């Protein structure tokens, strides 16, 4: 079976004004910048885009802006629509289908300690709401608990469910899932260890740091698939240098700092998400990383 959803996708960030309101102009500029990086596509409205801190109306406007920016670019668009309730998820999913997005994705419901049966029901109903393929999401670091293997196997068997974004370090589970559902598409979600997922059979990656280093991740994936593991390891090391710096600032605040230093102003993160240091210190911290020769080589 030929898989239609593969490759490297930036988990697109969100442009906000200085007072943290959704900013259409900044979103447009940011999207245009990421589109220059040669990625297979954009993953719109996910955690990297602060979706949990945005309203459904804002996410709806964002979907439209990104669709306009990407028109005729050949870049594929996946809309993340995983809201706290199914009604809002279906609203975003339906609009994404109307806008020409090629696929959907969604966090499992996590506002309450939902049962496996409730999570399965959510995905079954969301997958049935449009004709678009749906990528489900395993991300225990966000939801607070993993979805059991048997439950994931059932979910991947639902009509319109075409794959999974796997953001977990349980690589044995990842491998078992691939063997049980070989026709599904597998995206790996930890940027700093993408090579691990790729070697174990991921069809591509979806990541936050792709907003800045998209070209690097495309090259890393290509090296891995060509069997050039030393080159792939070298590129993964560069990725890890960047991620290490972000862990000190806070990942999304640090990313927005880096983007601003590169001339792409996309505002602050929305509270309660904050930098872990003063803005001046964050600027100096991220500038030092961006000025490293091995990082400069991959900036657009």
The catalytic site residues sit at: 137, 165
Measured CA to CA, the distance from residue 266 to residue 41 in angstroms comes to 20
Give the residue from 218, 172, 175 showing the smallest Cα distance to 194.
218
> How far are the Cα atoms of 71, 88, 119, 170 from residue 146, in angstroms, in the given order?
36, 23, 11, 10
Biggest CA pair distance of the chain:
52
User: Per residue in 164-185, is it b (16+ CB within 10 Å) or e — as a string?
Assistant: bbbbbeeeebbeebbeebeebb
What does the buried/exposed string (b/e) look like for 116-149 if buried means 16 or more CB atoms within 10 Å of the residue's CB?
Answer: eeebbebbbebbebbebbbbbbbbeeebeeebeb
For 169, which DSSP code? S
Token couple for 85: 């309730």
- 84 token code pair: 């706290």
Query: How many other β-carbons are positioned within 10 Å of the β-carbon of residue 196?
Result: 15
CA angle 246, 77, 14 (to 5 degrees): 40
Are the beta carbons of 12 and 31 closer than 8 angstroms?
Answer: yes
Distance CA 181, CA 237 (A): 31
Kindly state the DSSP code that residue 53 receives in the 8-state scheme: G
């Amino acid at each position: 079976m030929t898989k239609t959803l593969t490759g490297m996708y930036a988990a697109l960030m969100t442009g906000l004004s200085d007072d943290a309101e959704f900013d259409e102009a900044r979103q447009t500029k940011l999207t245009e910048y990421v589109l220059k990086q040669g990625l297979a596509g954009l993953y719109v409205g996910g955690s990297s885009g602060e979706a949990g801190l945005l309203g459904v109306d804002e996410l709806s406007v964002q979907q439209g802006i990104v669709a306009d920016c990407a028109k005729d670019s050949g870049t594929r668009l996946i809309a993340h629509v995983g809201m706290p309730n199914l009604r809002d998820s279906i609203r975003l999913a339906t609009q994404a289908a109307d806008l020409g997005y090629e696929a959907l994705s969604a966090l499992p419901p996590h506002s309450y300690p939902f049962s496996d049966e409730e999570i399965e029901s959510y995905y079954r109903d969301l997958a049935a709401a449009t004709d678009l393929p749906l990528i489900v999401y395993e991300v225990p670091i966000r939801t607070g608990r993993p979805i059991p293997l048997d439950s994931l196997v059932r979910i991947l068997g639902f009509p319109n469910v075409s794959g999974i974004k796997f953001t977990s370090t349980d690589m044995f589970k990842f491998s078992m899932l691939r063997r049980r559902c070989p026709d599904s598409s597998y995206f790996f979600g930890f940027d700093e260890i993408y090579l691990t997922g790729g070697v174990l059979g991921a069809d591509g990656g979806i990541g936050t740091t792709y907003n800045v280093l998209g070209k690097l991740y495309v090259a890393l994936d290509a090296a891995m698939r060509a069997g050039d593991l030393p080159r792939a390891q070298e590129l993964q090391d560069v990725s890890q240098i960047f991620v290490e710096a972000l862990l000190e600032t806070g990942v999304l605040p640090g990313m927005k700092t880096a983007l601003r230093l590169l001339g792409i102003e996309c505002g602050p993160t929305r509270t309660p998400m904050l930098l872990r240091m003063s803005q001046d210190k964050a600027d100096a911290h991220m500038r030092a990383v961006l000025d490293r020769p091995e990082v400069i080589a991959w900036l657009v």
